[in-house]
Amino acid sequence: MRVSIKDIAQALNLSKATISWILSGQGEAKGFSEATIKRVKEYAESVNYRPNLLARSLSLGTSNIMGLIIPFLSDTYYASLAGAIEKEATRRKYSLVVCSSEGDGEKEYELVRNLKATQVDGIILAPTKTDKRALSFLQNDSLPFVLVDRYYPNIQSNYVIVNNREACYQVVRHLGEIGARKIALLTTDMHLYVMKQRVEGYRNALQDLGVEMNLSLELCIDRKTYQTDIINKLDGLFQEVPDVDGFFFATHYLAIEAIRYFIRHGINYRERFHMGCFHETEALDILAPEISISRMPLAKIGTTAVDILLANIQEKDHYTYQNVIIENEFLPEAYKKQ
């Protein structure tokens, strides 16, 4: 049977208000003695008291809960980002509810509505970009939110992203400077503005290197079937440009799948290609220690997103949107010296 504040008050012969103040962490501010505070907290722990968060949120106007919606829970990048956000939320005395849209705009919209119904104070969202209903709902409802990793350049909102164009430029420019001239680009999700920026960075680097553009080197992989589509696209690449000498992967999982392809086809990729990748993932340090990495600062992204959301929650209608662009860390031959 669930223990209530009323039960604790009756057991200790104190008022419900006294119990409520103490258990909400405001005992000292209300002038209760250290002995009384200790007595209440120890008894509440002994009877396994747990607060009714919904009732608390209705009473105080805040739940100290924030929602996080990411596209894919199974993606190591998003899992790590969720971990960084959860760590900062906990430090700020907030609980985090993590959901996955699975890249589906309809599910994203329903998740936003459900989180709102559960009285979260705000939402951090990595949008699908295929459906803007979730964002429209958040804006019309005035629920505080922050976009991370992805954003809409023509819509006013809070967002925390990295400098996608410059990060990719740095890597591709480096690949050219160490000798690569026919650098293939493997990308996906070209409906995302951030992916378009990464392609721009790739092309700008080639232009500054004085390398002729070759669209045969630009492979757009279908995200939904990437494990099979990448095989078909690489088969076509090696037929059209057999002397390709470099690879830039616009996202980490494409690097792993390409290396899988190289190994299965007996290609000595470590000797034959100069390679670079936007962010990293497990096993790259073993499979491709010479690869150059543009590492995303996940801890900083998570901390910044939580800071912005909490500021929005506190300032409410007087809040000004914050747009933060963070620089990646460039690591040439990222693992070679480790």
Helices (H) and strands (E) in the chain, counts: 14, 12
Distance CA 27, CA 63 (A): 19
Domains of the chain: 5-51 (1.10.260), 64-161+298-326 (3.40.50.2300), 164-295 (3.40.50.2300)
The predicted structure's pLDDT at residue 226: 94
Task: Give me the DSSP letters along 205-267.
Answer: HHHHHTPPP-GGGEEEE-GGGHHHHHHHHHHHHHHH-TT--EEEESSHHHHHHHHHHHHHTT-
CA angle 115, 119, 120 (to 5 degrees): 65
Residue 125, token pair as written in the block: 């969202």
What values do phi and psi take at 218, rounded to 5?
Answer: -100, 110
Instruction: Mention every residue, 6+ apart, whose C-beta is less than 8 A from residue 38.
Output: none
The pLDDT value recorded for residue 1 is 65
> What is the per-residue pLDDT for 191?
87
- HSE toward the beta carbon, residue 126, CA cutoff 13 A: 26
Residue that is written with structure tokens 């910044």 in the block: 304
pLDDT of the residue at 174: 98
Q: What is the pLDDT of residue 25?
A: 77
Residue among 280, 292, 252, 275 at smallest CA distance from 182: 275
Structure tokens at 83: 């971990």
Tell me how long the chain is: 338
3-state secondary structure of 237: helix
Q: What is residue 74's DSSP assignment?
A: T
pLDDT of residue 215: 95
173 contacts 166 by C-beta, under 8 angstroms = no
Residue 106, CB half-sphere, CA atoms under 13 Å: how many? 0
Q: What is the pLDDT of residue 163?
A: 97
Taking the chain, what is the end-to-end CA distance rounded to the nearest angstrom? 56
Q: Do residues 337 and 293 touch, judged by C-beta distance below 8 A?
A: no
pLDDT at 60: 52
- Tell me which amino acid residue 286 is: I
Q: What string of pLDDT tens digits covers the 338 residues of the chain?
A: 678 888 888 998 989 889 888 887 788 888 889 999 999 898 888 888 876 655 555 455 577 899 999 999 889 999 999 999 999 999 999 999 999 999 899 999 999 999 998 889 999 999 987 678 888 888 888 889 999 999 888 888 999 999 999 999 999 999 999 999 999 999 999 988 999 999 999 999 999 999 999 999 999 999 889 999 999 999 999 999 999 999 999 999 999 999 999 999 999 999 999 999 999 998 999 999 999 999 999 999 999 999 999 999 988 777 889 999 999 999 999 887 65
Kindly state the tokens that stand for 89: 């939320």
∠ CA 251-253-256, nearest 5°, is 120
Helix (H) or strand (E) holding 172: helix 164-177
Give φ, ψ of 232 to 5 degrees.
-65, -40
CA–CA separation, 80 vs 57, rounded Å?
Answer: 29
> How many C-beta neighbours within 10 Å does residue 333 have?
18
